Structure 1
Amino acid sequence: MNLTKWTSQERGRASQLARMLSVSSTTVANWISGKKPIPPERCPAIERATVRAVTCEELRPDVDWEYLRGTAAIDQAKSKSGADIFGAPPTGHRQEVSDAA
């Protein structure tokens, strides 16, 4: 679904979206009318606000969202494990080395 259709389904949705995103109603109206493009950095917040009824891919098909979502998943996994994708310990940690053979 596109943003125009989503906002037209219920009175006040555009204003509600503007409040949720901390932008003016005019800004949202400009996005809906196509007068101004939606900044890519706003797309994830719009997707969350619409509970995925309007996706980043629909808002900005020119952005490689598949790649960005993939790198976000890798970054999230790295931060949870404390290691990089190759299994190296986080920086600042000493690695114990044994002389035993």
Structure 2
Amino acid sequence: MVKNNTFLEMAIKKIGSQKKLADEIGVVQSCVWKWLHGETRIPLDKAMNIELLTKGQVKCEELRPDINWSILRNKKATNAN
């Protein structure tokens, strides 16, 4: 699996630690470690949580560039109306 951890590292630094980030988004610290080391991908909902938690300083598109977020964001906006 390709590692794309620069943006996750930014989120961890902003929040304070892997453990704090994990607690804030409702996972165990080992999940964050696996994401950071490219062992597993960040689930879509957790990528969205990280974007919200970092107040948009780390975007979903940066955490999971393999996803077409414009479609998901448009769907979310449509559902909100």
TM-score, scaled to structure 2: 0.80
| CA-CA distance at 1:30 after TM superposition | 0.9
Structure 1's consecutive aligned runs of 4 or more residues displaced over 6 angstroms after TM superposition are: none
Aligned length: 76
Q: State the match for 2:25 in structure 1.
A: 21
Structure 2 residue 66 is the aligned partner of structure 1 residue 62 = yes
Which of the pair has more CA radius of gyration? Answer: 1
* Between structures 1 and 2, the one with greater helix share: 2
What code does the residue aligned with 1:48 have? L
Q: Percent identity?
A: 33
| CA-CA distance at 1:65 after TM superposition | 0.5
Root-mean-square deviation (Å)? 1.8
| CA-CA distance at 1:15 after TM superposition | 1.1
Rounded to whole Å, the distance in 2 between the matches of 1:76 and 1:24 is: 30
TM-score, scaled to structure 1: 0.66
What code does the residue aligned with 1:35 have? E
**CA 1:46–1:6 in 2, change beyond 3 Å: closer, same or farther?**
closer
